Structure 1
Amino acid sequence: MDISVKRALMTLSALWLLAGCDGASTPQAFTPEMASFSNEFDFDPLRGPVKDFSQTLMNEKGEVAKRVTGTLSQEGCFDTLEFHNLEDNSGAALVLNANYYLDAASQEKRVKLQGKCQLAELPAAGVVYDTNDSGFVVKARGKGTTIDYRYDAEGYPLGKTTVADKLRLTVASTVADNRKKLDYTAVSTLNDKTMGRVKQTCDYDNHFNPVSCELEITDESATPPVHHKYTIENTIDYY
């Protein structure tokens, strides 16, 4: 075989190999359930075949401010979801049972589901969820309040707009790197007046999920503005 032909074939093989590696490292999109639940229950969404996870938010003193844990089935449904906000002493533990999530302690029905495991209703709060054709929750309707949710092409939550009476609160996120979605900046506005800014940067695993993050929050509703810094530590197990 001519040496030039050999070189051409070797180059072509190398290109195929690189293309295959690049394809293998392409991050998976976010499922409708993961994206929608993260919107409603305020945690960072994750990609891929997640089996269980925890997200722990710590303040500048190293104290735990918030913690979220969850387990998922191989189909991507949340089997359990538990969240605790130590700053305002609130929280809940939910367990999947047929088409409801039950309170783990009282066994009361907390969340009604649609389809296999998507949000449909919070009966006690009178909140109903609407989904789009792809199964993502795009609107929540409650007593005098509506919330519209936005996502990018990969299902990553880009923010939401809450309207109640004459108040309109909007949170809008911007992502610079489509692989590292949790590196973002966000701006919150109330009736078009800026109320706060958020910036987050993370280290990632090979699924492009965050392992640890630095979170900076600026409260511009205060005079002068107040700055808060947090760290987030994540544990993630996969199928």
Structure 2
Amino acid sequence: MSSEKITAEIRTEFGKGAARRIRREHKIPAVVYGHGNDPIHLTLPGHETMMAIKHGGANALLEIDVDGTSHLALTKQVQVDPVRRVLEHVDFVAVKRGEKVTVDVPVHIVGEAASETLVVTENTTLQVEAEATHIPEQFEVSIEGAEAGTQFLAGQVELPSGTTLLTDPETLVVNVTAAQTAEAAEAELEQAEAEAGIEKDEPEAAEGEAAEGGDSE
């Protein structure tokens, strides 16, 4: 994973009011932690930072320039406005080239399983140790042609050289099962309703049907 270069400014104003003013200027408040140093409070350019994090994924690596000094920083937490979907704040951890870091890397499913199967992703990420500058963006798990009953475990996922799996190798990542038929689903629903004490109403008599023993013309 290559690092994206961003030029930042030292942030001297704090609090919600200051953060709102920064965002109105289309910038993003951020903090860099790590290596026993005091946190560095920064203001980042909004669009450039958003694109860098989008390109780098969950573990985006940024080379942040502050007054001529370069800081290599790994994205740890991103706060996003739930409505406008814009970045509100970013936490980074300072890293060094060649340093090993622990990260959660997304799992990406590729291919199509056999017909009449149901594919369930049991774990969407795997925790690994990798060099800060060589963090995989994702791990691919091919389910092409997988039959019902096939399981893909963490230990079976192919990792690039230099990356060490920290997740238990026996952890289930993807489970391929037989797709449930409509009849089986209806039977399961009826059983659940019966166990819950839910009684279905009997169908009403057809409209206009004469009651037994009623008057005739």
Give the TM interval when normalised to the shorter protein: under 0.3
* Structure whose alpha-carbon radius of gyration is higher: 2
Higher strand share: 1
TM-score normalised to the size of structure 2? Answer: 0.23
